[in-house]
Amino acid sequence: MSHAFSNALVKRLRAAQGFIFDMDGTLVLGDAASGGHNPLPGAVDLLAALRSRGVPFRVFTNGTAKPPATYAAGLRKVGFDLRDEEMMTPSTSAAQWFLKQGIGKVRVLGLDGVAQPLVAAGIEAVGPTAEAEGVEAVYTGWFKEFTFPALEAACQDLWNGARLTTASNVPFFATATGRAIGSSFAINAMLKAMTGKQARVLGKPSVDAFRVAMQSMGLPRMAAPKMVVVGDDPALEMRMAVSAGAYGVGMTTGLMKRSTVRGLAAAERPHALLESLEGLADKLR
Ligand SMILES: [Mg+2]
């Protein structure tokens, strides 16, 4: 089955200097049985078409359960032509933000998936309950193993002047079996209640994250209007696209539905809405 793509949309996509794709609900759907990914129709072809044209792209998931290279390997396994450095998580952009701020010591409320990109960037990652002096920031991510001692340690750091940062601050995310709690949202709420500090979001939808993605593709800031962000979550990809001045393509293959888009605030509304990526590669080749 092929889908209609308006001429205006095709023109816009052909002129794009770079793409940022969401992963779940946009390029793939999670396979609950295997823990792997099922590519959505047209997704593998679309990335291949961009590759053949030499158009840079990033796949940016807001999950921090695994390090970026592990997600990239999972996507290659189901057919995507994707290099490790083309995969991003919030910790990829967080690492760059910490470096820019001159922050070198961070307490990580999360496991290896959250901490690994920070460590790779040369940042000292302090474990959730480790005793440490001089922690400059607390960073929260996917952390189902959260414990009361971790809460106490993070509060001490924050009371001592550390900044509060987070991978993601959305309450729920979609899974094959329904909605699941975003662990960092719940942890951030506890930390705010205890310290009064509001977590700064370093993953999607922050413009910081958008800029790190652009920079990693070798694109200047002024290219933002020629960037295309493709995703299924109004609060993440569409909000990021709108606030960064990029072009947002919404997908109805995940959270967004055609019937709900009209009710969205302008800050979260897609510029174009697609029901499938199938056939789009042929339009862009
Ligand atoms: Mg998604």
How remote is the CA of residue 189 from the centroid of ligand 1, in Å? 23
Distance 237 CA to ligand 1 centre (A): 8
Residue 276 Cα, ligand 1 centroid: separation in angstroms?
14
35 phi-psi bin (left φ>0, alpha ψ -120 to 50, beta other)? left
Quote the ligand 1 centre to 145 CA distance (angstroms). 24
Domain range 91-201, CATH class: alpha beta
- The answer to whether the beta carbons of residues 66 and 82 sit under 8 Å apart is no
Query: Separation of 133 CA from ligand 1 center, angstroms?
Result: 37
Question: From the CA of 195, how far away is ligand 1's center (Å)?
Answer: 31
Q: What are the tens digits of pLDDT across the range 111-151?
A: 999 999 999 999 999 999 999 999 999 999 999 999 999 99
Q: How far is the CA of 231 from the centre of ligand 1 (A)?
A: 6
Cβ neighbours, 10 Å, residue 157: 25
Q: Please tell me the distance between residue 203's alpha carbon and the centre of ligand 1 in angstroms.
A: 13
Architecture in CATH for domain 7-39+48-84+206-284: 3-Layer(aba) Sandwich (3.40)
Residue 149 CA to ligand 1 centre (angstroms): 32
Backbone angles phi and psi of 136, in degrees to 5: -95, -25
Token pair recorded at residue 92: 């990829």
15-57 pLDDT tens trace: 999 999 999 999 999 876 777 889 999 999 999 999 999 999 9
Could you report the per-residue pLDDT of 67-117, keeping only the tens digit for each?
999 999 999 999 999 999 999 999 999 999 999 999 999 999 999 999 999
pLDDT (tens digit per residue) in 260-271: 999 999 999 999
Res 138: pLDDT:
99
CB 142 within 8 A of CB 181: no
Residues composing the chain: 285
Cβ(285)–Cβ(54) below 8 Å: no
Domains 7-39+48-84+206-284 and 91-201 share a fold: yes
How many whole angstroms from 41 Cα to the centroid of ligand 1? 15
Confidence of residue 178 (pLDDT cuts 50, 70, 90): confident
What's the CA gap between 238 and 229, in Å, rounded? 7
Distance 132 CA to ligand 1 centre (A): 36
The CA 224 to ligand 1 mean position distance, Å, reads: 21
Domain boundaries, the chain: 7-39+48-84+206-284, 91-201
CA 194 – ligand 1 centroid, Å: 31
Q: Can you tell me the distance from the alpha carbon of 241 to that of 268, in angstroms, rounded to the nearest whole number? A: 8
- Is pLDDT of 1 > 50? no
CA of 262 to the centre of ligand 1 (A): 19
Distance 36 CA to ligand 1 centre (A): 15
DSSP the chain: ------HHHHHHHHT-SEEEE-SBTTTEEE-TTTS-EEEPTTHHHHHHHHHHHT--EEEE-S--SS-HHHHHHHHHHTT----GGGEE-HHHHHHHHHHHHT--EEEEES-HHHHHHHHHTT-EEE-TT---S---EEEE---TT--HHHHHHHHHHHHTTPEEEES---SEEEETTEEEE-HHHHHHHHHHHHH-PPPEE-STT-HHHHHHHHHHTT--GGGGGGEEEEES-IIIIIHHHHHHT-EEEEETTTT--HHHHTTS-GGG--SEEES--TTHHHHH-
